[in-house]
Amino acid sequence: MQARFGNSEHLTQKKCFSIITRKDSPCESCPVIKSLKDKKVHTCDVKTMVTPSGKIKYFKITATPILNKDGEVENVLESFVDITEKRKRRMKHRIRSVEARRLNEEISKLVENFKKIENRHSARLKLATKELDTIYKLGNRIISSLDVKEILKSIVETVPELLRMSGCVVRIFEGSRKKLILEAASGVSKSFKQSARILPAGEGISGIVANMKKPMVIKDISKDARIKYHGECLRESMHSLLAVPIIFKNTVLGVIIAFSRKIKNFKASEVNLLSTFAAHVAIALNNAMMYEKVHLNYYNTIMTLVKTIEARDPYTCGHSERVTGYALKLAHKLNLSKEEIDILMYSGKLHDIGKIAIPDFILRKKSKLTPTEWAEIESHPVIGSEMIVHLSFLKDCIPLIRHHHERYDGNGYPDKLRENNIPFLARILSIADAFDAMTSERPYRRSLTLEQAKEEIKFNSKTQFDPDLAEVFLSIIEESSDVQIINNGSCVKFDIAS
Ligand SMILES: [Fe+2]
């Protein structure tokens, strides 16, 4: 106590405020005054004191009124509890709490930031994973495909989705490597495909990319004079483009061009993505091109066989060519697509390929065929379709070759298909085939005249032939002023293919 307040001399007859606060007046919250007034116990939580030695101390002061027998306050007992250490501990704790709160806030901010970064990173990671997944899936699909057209279609369908672009164009070098041909495109008009189809090697962005063997980015097409089909590109509202070469073993096979209808700043990651994609495409395209080259040779071999078959039977000389001509005439009249015309062309030439398995004595027989011999003859559509089953580029011809002897009423062969169950192009081939047979010499009969053939088609409409197609075919004959039948003895040639 002495250390705190001094000795008894310092305390006796002294007012507490003069000792505690060293002031001349009582403290505002003096518990003694309160006790004197209401005769109750009062405390003053914290009171700062300066000891005689100058140290700051904190006290809890309690004032307890001592009442006389009349219930009046006679004295007030003022007790002091030193709370300096306790207060220090509390202060330390409070400081620690404040610090902890501040740290917590900082940590939560960091966590938030981390989450944002993580989300951003995660979104980027997810996007990158999706892109790689797309490339992987497409890579597998195109690598397993041996059809150049199918691969090119996959490219122009996938690239805009992969890079969030407006469209895509693929140019491939033609055989002599003097031209880059627009072989597939998405997001452009038909007229663009036609007018911008041929690009001389070395010209335009594709030509430059092919020469440099490096990707190229054009932010604003309208300001770039190197664009070959400038007007056509602007008419398609193209603004920015990214072009990458398709390189296989250091040879450029072609160029992929992805374009945007908005001004776009391409990121390095997008250029890398399309380049990676183009590397997959290069392997697939090379495989498919090699395959087609090999199978074109196979097709030529088959065509030699067709000619060999026709040579075996002088009465069928030129039959395949003529059937093809009639079928294409009908196809053009019906405005069929280029793909359908191609299918009809190959199928027309190959439709009787299965006859290679039919013995000569049956093919050349002048007398009536026995049921067994007819069965042999009727096997040729199935044999023919099986002969080409492994040639992917002729896969669309299989139904035509198999079903060119089906009849509209279901009494044909080999599957007795009827009406619209017979493939549409096979119904066209059927009319063309029958018309040539009618107008050709056979060992067992003379050829029909043109009028007789027309009557025969009319008569067999709805039974043998699709009535709508028969009508169109007849109208073609009517409209053709140069129709003539030339009988050169062993070959009957009917020329309506003007
Ligand atoms: Fe046939």
Residues 233, 103 share a domain: yes
Cα dist from 487 to 119, 306, 330, 450, 490, whole Å: 81, 22, 23, 12, 8
Residues 121, 64 share a domain: no
**pTM of the predicted model over 0.95:** no
3-class DSSP assignment, residue 186: strand
Last residue of a domain, one of 82, 100, 129: 82
pLDDT of residue 308: 76
How many folded domains does the chain comprise? 3
CA of 477 to the centre of ligand 1 (A): 22
pLDDT of residue 481: 58
CA of 320 to the centre of ligand 1 (A): 10
Residues 371, 278 share a domain: no
Q: Is 299 domain-assigned?
A: no
Q: Is 109 domain-assigned?
A: yes
Residues 91, 74 share a domain: no
CA of 169 to the centre of ligand 1 (A): 41
CA of 309 to the centre of ligand 1 (A): 12
Residues 211, 133 share a domain: yes
pLDDT, averaged per 10 consecutive residues of the chain (498 residues), comes to: 61 72 76 88 77 75 86 84 81 71 69 65 66 68 75 89 91 92 94 92 94 94 89 92 94 95 90 88 86 74 75 75 92 91 91 87 84 93 88 87 97 96 97 92 77 93 96 89 47 41
Q: What is the DSSP string of 73-110?
A: EEEEEEEEEE-HHHHHHHHHHHHHHHHHHHHHHHHHHH
Q: Any idea what the CATH number is for the domain that residue 52 is in? A: 3.30.450.20
DSSP state of 244: E
Range of the domain at 70: 2-82
For residue range 416-435, what is the model confidence (pLDDT) as tens digits? 999 999 999 999 999 999 99
Q: Any idea what the CATH number is for the domain that residue 437 is in? A: 1.10.3210.10
pLDDT of residue 493: 42
Residues 439, 322 share a domain: yes
CA of 430 to the centre of ligand 1 (A): 9
CA of 381 to the centre of ligand 1 (A): 6
CA of 210 to the centre of ligand 1 (A): 47
Contacts of 487 (CB under 8 A, 6+ apart): 441, 447, 493
Question: What is the helix (H) or strand (E) element at residue 50, kind and residue range?
Answer: strand 42-50
What whole-number distance in Å separates Cα of residue 380 and Cα of residue 237? 54
Q: Is 146 domain-assigned?
A: yes
CA of 364 to the centre of ligand 1 (A): 15
CA of 159 to the centre of ligand 1 (A): 44
Contacts of 289 (CB under 8 A, 6+ apart): 148, 253
**What's the chain's length in residues?**
498
Tokens 């979104």 appear where?
123
CA of 386 to the centre of ligand 1 (A): 14
CA of 483 to the centre of ligand 1 (A): 24
pLDDT of residue 2: 55
CA of 209 to the centre of ligand 1 (A): 50
Alpha helices in 179-333 (DSSP H): 190-195, 204-212, 230-235, 268-312, 319-333
Residues 180, 91 share a domain: yes
CA of 347 to the centre of ligand 1 (A): 11
Last residue of a domain, one of 222, 256, 289: 289
Q: Do 142 and 154 meet the contact criterion of CB atoms below 8 Å apart?
A: yes
CA of 357 to the centre of ligand 1 (A): 13
CA of 405 to the centre of ligand 1 (A): 6
CA of 346 to the centre of ligand 1 (A): 14
CA of 351 to the centre of ligand 1 (A): 6
pLDDT of residue 119: 67
Q: Is 105 domain-assigned?
A: yes
Residues 378, 488 share a domain: yes
Cα dist from 139 to 131, 199, 250, whole Å: 12, 27, 20
Residues 331, 228 share a domain: no
CA of 362 to the centre of ligand 1 (A): 14
